[in-house]
A and B are shown apart, each in its own frame.
Chain A
Amino acid sequence: EAAVTQSPRSKVAVTGGKVTLSCHQTNNHDYMYWYRQDTGHGLRLIHYSYVADSTEKGDIPDGYKASRPSQENFSLILELASLSQTAVYFCASSDEAGGDTQYFGPGTRLLVL
Chain B
Amino acid sequence: GEQVEQRPPHLSVREGDSAVITCTYTDPNSYYFFWYKQEPGASLQLLMKVFSSTEINEGQGFTVLLNKKDKRLSLNLTAAHPGDSAAYFCAVSLPRGYQNFYFGKGTSLTVIP
Interface size class of B (residues with CB under 8 A): 20 to 34
Cα of A104 to Cα of B39 in the assembled complex, Å: 13
Q: How far is the CB of B90 from chain A (nearest CB, A)?
A: 9
Interface size class of A (residues with CB under 8 A): 20 to 34
The answer to whether the Cβ of B49 comes within 8 Å of any Cβ in the partner chain is yes
Contact B100–A45 (Cβ < 8 Å): yes
Within 8 A of A (CB), among B41-94: 42-46, 49, 51, 89, 91, 93-94
The answer to whether the Cβ of A96 comes within 8 Å of any Cβ in the partner chain is yes
Contact B103–A43 (Cβ < 8 Å): yes
Cα of A35 to Cα of B69 in the assembled complex, Å: 30
Residues of A within 8 A of B101 (CB): 43, 45, 102
Residues of A within 8 A of B100 (CB): 45, 58-59
Q: A90-B44, A101-B49 are in contact. Are A42 and B96 (CB under 8 A)?
A: no
Cα of A106 to Cα of B99 in the assembled complex, Å: 21
Residues of B within 8 A of A58 (CB): 100
Contact A48–B44 (Cβ < 8 Å): no
Q: How far is the CB of A7 from chain B (nearest CB, A)?
A: 14
Q: How far is the CB of B98 from chain A (nearest CB, A)?
A: 5
Q: A41-B105, A99-B31 are in contact. Are A104 and B96 (CB under 8 A)?
A: no
| Per-residue interface assignment for chain B, residues 24 to 35, with 1 indicating a CB less than 8 Å from any chain A CB and 0 otherwise | 000000011010
Q: Which residues of B contact A (CB under 8 A)?
A: 6, 9, 31-32, 34, 36, 42-46, 49, 51, 89, 91, 93-101, 103-106
